[in-house]
Amino acid sequence: MKEIPNLSFWKLWNISFGFFGVQIAYALQSANISRIFATLGADPHSLSYFWILPPLMGIIVQPLIGMFSDRTWCRFGRRIPYLFVGAIIAVMVMCLLPNAGSFGMGVSAAMVFGLFSLMLLDTSINIAMQPFKMMVGDMVNEKQKGLAYAIQSFLCNAGSLAGYLFPFVFAAIGISNVAPKGVIPNSVIYSFYIGAAILILCVIYTTLKVKEYPPQLYAEYHGIDNQEKEEKVNVFKLLVKAPKAFWTVGLVQFFCWAAFMFMWTYTNGTVAANVFDTPSAKLLKDGVTTLVLDTQSQQYQDAGDWVGILFAVQAIGSVLWAMALPIFKNRKLSYSLSLVLGGIGFISTYFVHDQYLLFVSFLLIGCAWAAMLALPFTILTNSLSGGHMGTYLGLFNGTICVPQIVAAATGGQILHLFTREGSVPPEVNMLVLAGILLIVGACCVNFIKEGKN
């Protein structure tokens, strides 16, 4: 088996550069979906259900992309055609989703339009995102994979930083961040437009700069014989043969990604209530009147902008901590410590009522995010060999999607348990729960088995 040659820093950079644009789209989705649907009229207890679609599409789409691209080759490569098609669809949907309340539809119709757009957006982001992880597995040797995923982590966080800041920046330069009832503010709409433009430019750059290994050379680098090339993919057999790292890292992933699903869903309401003193309003649903935050108020929309700042701070914390991770010689120690710091950050939000002091909380949360982006894929790809790299990475995405689906499906019911009659739902309690989940995940790091076994 031929050894994959070392690549220059800039070749490693080019492989992942398009990830910057994809992550802007993902950040805009993550930071604004709860805000968009709450503005359209969603009840806080129902918000988590809107978040089921993104991971559900991921668990369906990413294994398929991995399986199909493992067996694809054309003049543009094997992974690149998929990321380009995904990016084109994402750009179109990004121009539609934030306009869900602007087409004169009723609340129910606007919700359905928004849900359909969200489904298409997350499907296309998944199609575009997965090939970047696969190309590192395809084109980078074991010695350089740590650096390659570190570059990918940096570009991921840089893209997140830009996406999170756009609404705040647009509001700061005078673009309105409030709108009539049921209409998304222009500061959010324009953010999606700019994000779409950057996404397509970044993907075009990677498409032009990266040349994937042709099939014969790829087979030589990965020790694939003709029989393995012709072998039909049986997902269940692959799962049975999966290395122990696949399952043990997956256990840690379950607690981590459930925690971050709660963060994306409930941070907006937490900051609006605990920091910006957003007034409450009565919501009549099915003949029952409940108290919710007033999404038309200036305080709520200001809180929405500030959430973008907090998520940007998290991205900065992630970049800084990612640079510190290589200092640790013990990978498990760095992984578990990162998750504990993130857990402390989540729990601290319960006690913080100052918008600037929340920076500390989200810097700590960024430590967990840095480890989640880099370490699981480094551990997994070092344990894989052969012609099913893409399929395995697609299946491994299930360890990201399943916990998010579980968290989204149960979040509303858990929040109901915390809510007292006649009170606004205490969404901050969900962030405390997220912190506890991260600490449990840190304990599970001890079960990880590394290596090709």
Q: Per-residue pLDDT tens for 355-387?
A: 999 999 999 999 999 999 888 888 887 777 656
Q: What's residue 386's pLDDT?
A: 59
pLDDT tens for each residue of 198-220: 999 999 999 999 999 888 888 88
Angle, helices 358-381 vs 244-274, to 10°: value is 160
pLDDT tens for each residue of 305-360: 899 899 989 989 998 998 888 788 888 999 999 999 999 999 999 999 999 999 99
C-alpha 84: how far from chain center: 19
pLDDT band at 232 (very low <50, low <70, confident <90, very high): low
pLDDT band at 453 (very low <50, low <70, confident <90, very high): low
391 pLDDT higher than 60: yes
Per mean pLDDT, which of 76-85, 173-182, 350-359 is the most reliable?
350-359
Residue type, 291: L
242 pLDDT higher than 90: no
Tell which residue, 383, 386, 73, has the closest CA to residue 220.
Answer: 386
pLDDT band at 403 (very low <50, low <70, confident <90, very high): very high
The rounded distance, in Å, linking the Cα atoms of 186 and 171 is 9
402 pLDDT higher than 80: yes
Tell which residue, 138, 98, 148, has the closest CA to residue 118.
Answer: 98
pLDDT tens for each residue of 251-303: 999 999 999 999 999 999 999 999 999 998 877 666 677 788 888 888 988 99
Q: List domains and CATH numbers for the chain.
A: 9-447 (1.20.1250.20)
| 185 touches 40 (CB < 8 A) | no
89 pLDDT higher than 80: yes
Tell which residue, 354, 367, 382, has the closest CA to residue 453.
Answer: 382
42 pLDDT higher than 80: no
